[in-house]
Amino acid sequence: MSYKTNKAQQDLLNQFLSGHGAQLSDETLDKLYQFADLVVDTKEYGNLISAKDSEKFLSRHIADSLVPFVFLGKEISAQGGKFRWVDMGAGAGCPVFPLAIAMPNVQFYAVEPRHMRVNFMQMVKEKLHLDNLTVVGKRFETSGLSNLDFISCRALSTFENDWERAKAGLKASGTFVTLKSYNNIVHLENDPKVHIQKYELPEEEQVYALVTRGNNE
């Protein structure tokens, strides 16, 4: 079944967004559903997602990918500027594609070294006409991208390892953003340089965390 007609999954995603005071237009939601269908249904680029996760892609992966938008989107919009945001190890496009769809005024870079994933993301970018997203087929360290406003990653490594990779690419006022299981970052609770926002995803038992650190902290 297409996510364009999967009302149960659509309702879970919309309940998650509205529960956090966030709202997306019908046009934006439709593009998110298109992205979900492309990830789940496209087979020629390898196994992009497990069968189990393909059944809850909106409520699990799209909702999780939109967490930075939910908690940071209003502040980003209020500042108005054309921010540059890199996602390290973008894989099949989460969280960077949902974020690019939700925040069209931000310039995103999906950085991923694996050739098949790069080809998939390039195909999706063209199909969805995402002019604010550039796919970069390299490791972040060799991408040449620097002086960035935001660098993100989702479940790559430990917070400490991800931060070490990211910080050299951030501008002085830039922010590192990552999505982790709360259990994996609980040791950071008393670190004054780290900001943690706990959240839960629809029909998921564990607690997750949006973790941010400013480059000037």
Contact 94, 47 (CB under 8 A): no
Contact 94, 201 (CB under 8 A): no
| Summary mean pLDDT of the chain | 95
In order of 31, 61, 180, the CA distances from 53 in angstroms are: 19, 8, 17
User: Is 45 a residue whose pLDDT tops 80?
Assistant: no
- Digit-coded pLDDT (tens) for 53-65: 789 999 999 999 9
15 band by pLDDT with thresholds 50, 70 and 90: very high
The pair of three-digit structure tokens given for residue 48, joined into one six-digit string: 């992009």
1 band by pLDDT with thresholds 50, 70 and 90: confident
Q: Tell me the C-alpha distance between 70 and 75, whole Å.
A: 10
Q: Which residues pair with 178 in a beta bridge?
A: 153, 211
Neighbours of 131 (CB within 10 A): 10
Q: Tell me the C-alpha distance between 7 and 164, whole Å.
A: 41
Contact 87, 110 (CB under 8 A): yes
- Digit-coded pLDDT (tens) for 138-195: 999 999 999 999 999 997 799 999 999 999 999 999 999 999 999 999 999 999 999 9
DSSP 8-state class, residue 60: I
In order of 10, 172, 178, the CA distances from 113 in angstroms are: 32, 26, 19
Contact 134, 126 (CB under 8 A): no
Assign residue 89 a region (left: φ > 0; alpha: ψ between -120 and 50; beta: otherwise): left
Q: Tell me the C-alpha distance between 103 and 120, whole Å.
A: 21
Outline where DSSP puts E strands in 6-59.
none
Outline where DSSP puts E strands in the chain.
84-88, 107-111, 133-136, 148-154, 170-181, 195-199, 208-214
Phi, psi for 41 (deg, rounded to 5) = -95, -20
